[in-house]
Amino acid sequence: MAASRSLPPAGVEGGTVSSAIEAGLLPLTAEVRPEGLAVGGILLTELAQRFGTPLFVYDEEHLRRRCREAVAAFGRGHVAYASKAFLCTAMARLAHEEGLLLDVASGGELRVALHAGVPADRIVLHGNNKDEAELRTALLAGVRHVVVDSFDEMERIERLHAEEHLPAARVQLRVAPGVAAGAHEAIRTGGHDSKFGFGISDGAAAAAVGRALGSPAMILEGVHAHVGSQVLDAVELARGAAAVARFAVEVRAHRLTVGGGLGVAYEAGQVAPSFADWAARMRDAVRGSGWSGEVTVEPGRSIAARPGITLYRVGTVKRIEGVRTYVGVDGGMSDNLRPALYGSRYEAFLPRCPRAPRPLRARVVGKHCESGDVIIDDAALPADLRVSDVLATPVTGAYGYAMASNYNKLPRPAVVFVADGRARVVVRRETDEDLLRLDVSEAADAAVAPSLGMMRSGTGDPVRAQTAGAA
């Protein structure tokens, strides 16, 4: 299906421009039909009816196109999909099929990638506080390399090598280059004051290089840096790349990874650099710093964000005279935490009428017991919005489902991939039974109670008491 390239010009009401949703915020295969907006050849309203709401919908062709664009810009084997943006078995498999490595930031993400059939030597283990279990799993599986973030992690790797005779770890050292970028302080990661990496300016990074080179438990592969996230200026990313490249040249590193950062347009009027532009500026920056080797990048958001869209059902329209209009939907901060966490901004539209002007200003809120449960603070919506409408928030493919929770015991939404007129559920909707599956039964509670009493009274050995109580 061809993407709709443009939508009609804006309408005006009360002096406020209220345009239709921009095509540049929609998935690649978005197509306006008389009945409404279709993605992947299927009407969004039909998907909401079939699979319920809230619902994450991904344009599979768009996901694959973004992967291919990244590989074309940086080269096969030099793009690692940052799984934290969005991960499930289907997404891990898709990224691997399109030639991307997978960057995982926990033992859980590693397990999903392996379960998807991604070879371990195509997986990079990241994270700033990896425990022994995560490191053990990675080393036994044979991951491509581990991004080491601290001297404490080095100690754990050395202990596993000495005491359990695990193979030497191939490592890249994460460094803090002193260059921070990003739309919000919470997603600026490359500065001096950061929980991530070894600082270059205070000598910690040089000391880490020395330790890795002198340790039989580690094989130093290279250096890594990540300056921030949701960066819309490729020049900022290039500055960070130049800083870490200078350090890589100084320590004679074999490989250089400049992690993530490339942003996406979330609102009308925003423009994000292309992968090709990012690659050209970054190459110029690292070459100007003396680096002549290849560079690996870790895009996550810029792969997954725009191909994804979230569908909600409107349940309440509350007009407070002289104040504002509230539009309540059946999801909220449990499926999109970013507005509450970072102050992130989105747009919204009604899939039944994507070309409609949007003169109504309203605050789109979720159903959670929090005043801060706001999805869009000042949304532009069609004037005829009504209860039971399907409402869509575009560009929600990154850090939506990935950050989803069960707050207020809401089941997490389903995730659907659409392509060529077919829809497949890749993550099923949680059920009420799922919300109870981790709770201990009353029988087990009764069995544990005596041991808890012994622990509170200080009598007996706690471990033995728990064992005896559970027997």
Q: What is the pLDDT of residue 451?
A: 54
Determine the Cα–Cα distance for residues 350 and 328; give it in Å rounded to an integer. 14
Tell me whether residue 2 is in a domain: no
Q: Is residue 179 located within the same domain as residue 245?
A: yes
Tell me whether residue 132 is in a domain: yes
Q: What is the pLDDT of residue 447?
A: 58
CATH of the domain at 337: 2.40.37.10
- The region, left, alpha or beta by phi > 0 then psi within -120 to 50, assigned to residue 309 is beta
User: Tokens 């559920």 sit at which residue?
Assistant: 425
Residue 161 backbone dihedrals phi, psi, to 5 degrees: -70, -45
Determine the Cα–Cα distance for residues 173 and 177; give it in Å rounded to an integer. 12
Give the relative orientation of helices 132-141 and 151-164 as an angle to the nearest 10 degrees: 60
Bridge partner residues of 266 (DSSP): none
Range of the domain at 452: 442-471
Tell me whether residue 3 is in a domain: no
pLDDT in tens, 291-341: 999 899 999 999 999 999 999 999 999 999 999 999 999 999 999 999 999
Domain boundary among 274, 302, 330: 302
Q: Is residue 288 located within the same domain as residue 428?
A: no
Q: Is residue 75 located within the same domain as residue 116?
A: yes
Tell me how crowded residue 385 is: count the other CB atoms within 10 A of its CB: 20
Tell me whether residue 393 is in a domain: yes
Domain boundary among 302, 317, 352: 302
CB 194 within 8 A of CB 187: no
Residues of the chain with pLDDT under 50: 1-15, 17, 181-191, 455-471
Q: Is residue 43 located within the same domain as residue 21?
A: yes
Q: What is the pLDDT of residue 230?
A: 85
CB 157 within 8 A of CB 218: yes
Domain boundary among 280, 302, 324: 302
Q: Is residue 93 located within the same domain as residue 222?
A: yes
Q: What is the pTM of this model?
A: 0.88
- The region, left, alpha or beta by phi > 0 then psi within -120 to 50, assigned to residue 388 is left
Q: Is residue 180 located within the same domain as residue 231?
A: yes
Q: Is residue 50 located within the same domain as residue 132?
A: no
Overall domain count for the chain: 3
Helix (H, G, I), strand (E, B) or coil at 388: coil
Bridge partner residues of 175 (DSSP): 198
pLDDT in tens, 9-60: 333 334 354 689 999 999 999 999 999 999 999 999 999 999 999 999 999 9
Q: Is residue 316 located within the same domain as residue 404?
A: yes
Q: What is the pLDDT of residue 248?
A: 95
Residues 6 or more apart from 453 whose CB is under 8 A from it? none
Q: Is residue 405 located within the same domain as residue 296?
A: no
Helix (H, G, I), strand (E, B) or coil at 299: coil
Q: Is residue 372 located within the same domain as residue 458?
A: no
Q: Is residue 77 located within the same domain as residue 220?
A: yes
CB 379 within 8 A of CB 347: yes
CATH of the domain at 128: 3.20.20.10
Active site residues: 369
Q: What is the pLDDT of residue 235?
A: 84
The DSSP letter of residue 83 is: G
Tell me whether residue 298 is in a domain: yes
Bridge partner residues of 13 (DSSP): 16
Q: What is the pLDDT of residue 19?
A: 86
Residue 457 backbone dihedrals phi, psi, to 5 degrees: -80, -10
Mean pLDDT of the chain: 89
Helix (H, G, I), strand (E, B) or coil at 306: coil
The DSSP letter of residue 206 is: H
Tokens for 400?
Answer: 């939506």
Tell me whether residue 392 is in a domain: yes
User: DSSP states of 20-38 as a string?
Assistant: PPPGGGS-TT-EEETTEEE
Q: What is the pLDDT of residue 446?
A: 59
Determine the Cα–Cα distance for residues 263 and 275; give it in Å rounded to an integer. 11
Long-range Cβ pairs for the range 467-471 (8 Å, 24+) = 470/444
CB 440 within 8 A of CB 460: no
CB 265 within 8 A of CB 226: no
Tell me whether residue 1 is in a domain: no
Tell me whether residue 374 is in a domain: yes
Q: Is residue 285 located within the same domain as residue 320?
A: no
Residue 158 backbone dihedrals phi, psi, to 5 degrees: -65, -35
Tell me how crowded residue 314 is: count the other CB atoms within 10 A of its CB: 20
